[in-house]
Amino acid sequence: MAGQSAVILGLEGPVLGRDEAAFFRAANPYGFILFARNITDPVQLTALTADLRACVGADVPVLIDQEGGRVQRMRAPHWREWLPPLEQAALASDPIRAAWLRARIMAAELRACGVDANCAPTCDIAGALTHPFLRNRCWGEDVATVIPQARATMDGFLAGGVLPIVKHMPGHGRATNDSHHDLPTVTASPDDLRAQDFAVFKALSDAPMGMTAHIRFTAFDEAPATQSAAMIELIRKEIGFNGLLMTDDIAMQALAGSIAERSALAIKAGCDVVLHCNGMRAEAEAAVEASGTLTGAALARSEAALTARCTPAAIDIDALDAEFGSVLGQGLHG
């Protein structure tokens, strides 16, 4: 929608206050992202997602990180608990079917509360040195394992009316430190990166949305991928991704400079949208101002991404639950 800010914003708590709503109305972000601090129960969450859309007067996407394991914002007792992806992949008798079932059931939970975009699947390849903050969030340790499970996850979300956001482009698995706190540096050769890390995202290049990695790939550029024109060009041309490209959280400490400087560099490099998560007003205002509005190709991609939000066909959720438990050889919750 023309005039939207090129940002996705987090909010402070579980209720949208009048002042916060006024800020969002003026900012007119592309969408919102929710965290555990914003969620208490299904009734509250459904009301909150409705209030967010009402305050901007549009059916904007509401995002969440609902991967499974420690990275899931909607939790028991109101919602299912999910195994970390790497653990599920090892346990399932049919890992690809299990990945689809998981995503389709998860999508039903999300949509029921007004959440219609998920920052998943994590398409990074787990290695022996992958930092623990990421490792069990991956689907496997090689291209042949990760691609079909990530594809099944993406397809399951789409079937359930939830936009999948593939991450972390063009690959985070080789990082040996946590980009929430430091900038990881990857020194692998272009050939190795193309054969492994980049190959997964190339196979999933038709995803409607993708998220960048705050990682420096020294074989291509000294700037982190989120702020590197060379890496964004690689994502667009070599990997072939033409969906909406959003940054990882711009407040993560892998990036240097002020929030305004970080945001401006990401947009200049070619990211379509800046993600700001913590709900801190001054930072959010800086991100909005520095990111500008969606125009040109970024606007076209932002609109195209939303066309992938379908109205899901009716499902027998009990039957899917039972099948999922059978494929895992145990109860649904692991």
**For residues 247 and 209, is the Cβ–Cβ distance under 8 A?**
no
Is 180 assigned a catalytic role?
yes
* Residue partners of 192: CB distance under 8 A and separation at least 6: none
Q: Is residue 134 part of a domain?
A: yes
The answer as to whether 250 is a domain residue is: yes
Dig out the tokens for 136 from the structure: 């069990």
Banded pLDDT at 329 (limits 50, 70, 90): confident
- Res. 81: pLDDT tops 70: yes
- Which whole-number Å values give the CA distances from 7 to 53, 82, 151, 280, in the listed order? 15, 29, 27, 14
- 172 among known catalytic residues: no
Distance, in Å, from the CA atom of 146 to the CA atom of 269, rounded to the nearest integer, reads 28
Residue 332 in domain: no
> 137: which 2 tokens?
């969030």
190 and 220 Cβ atoms separated by less than 8 Å: yes
**How many angstroms separate the CA atoms of 39 and 43, rounded?**
10
Amino acid (one-letter) located at 68:
G
Active-site entry in 65, 116, 221, 248? 248
Write out pLDDT tens, residues 210-259. 999 999 999 999 999 999 999 999 999 999 999 999 999 999 988 999 99
Burial class (CB in 10 A: 0-12, 13-18, 19+), 128: exposed
pLDDT at site 210: 98
Provide the residue range defining the domain that includes 95.
Answer: 5-324
In a domain, 109, yes or no: yes
- Whole-number Å distance between alpha carbons of 30 and 7: 6
Is the residue at 334 inside a domain? no
Burial class (CB in 10 A: 0-12, 13-18, 19+), 19: exposed
DSSP 14: S
Closest CA to 246 of 198, 283, 211, 206: 211
Q: Please check whether residue 81 is in contact with residue 300, taking contact to mean a CB–CB distance below 8 angstroms.
A: no
Residue 329 lies in a domain: no
Query: 120: closest CA among 102, 144, 141, 132?
Result: 102
The domain that holds 205 is classified in CATH as 3.20.20.300
Q: Which residues pair with 7 in a beta bridge?
A: 274
* β-pair partners for 68: 71
Residue 177 to residue 333: CA distance in whole angstroms: 30
Query: Which of 4, 2, 1, 7 shows the shortest CA–CA distance to 291?
Result: 7
Catalytic residue among 51, 78, 178, 180: 180
- Token match 């691609």: residue? 147
Quickly state the pLDDT bin for 129 (edges 50, 70, 90). confident
pLDDT for residue 74 is more than 70? yes
Counting beta carbons within 10 angstroms of the beta carbon of residue 334, is it exposed (0 to 12), middle (13 to 18) or buried (19 or more)?
middle
- For the segment 268-312, what is each residue's pLDDT rounded down to a tens digit? 999 999 999 999 999 999 999 999 999 999 999 999 999 999 999
**Which DSSP state fits 102?**
H
Interacting residues of 132 by C-beta distance below 8 A, sequence separation 6+: none
Residue 177: which pLDDT band, with cuts at 50, 70 and 90?
A: confident
How much is the average pLDDT of 75-102? 97
Domain count, the chain: 1
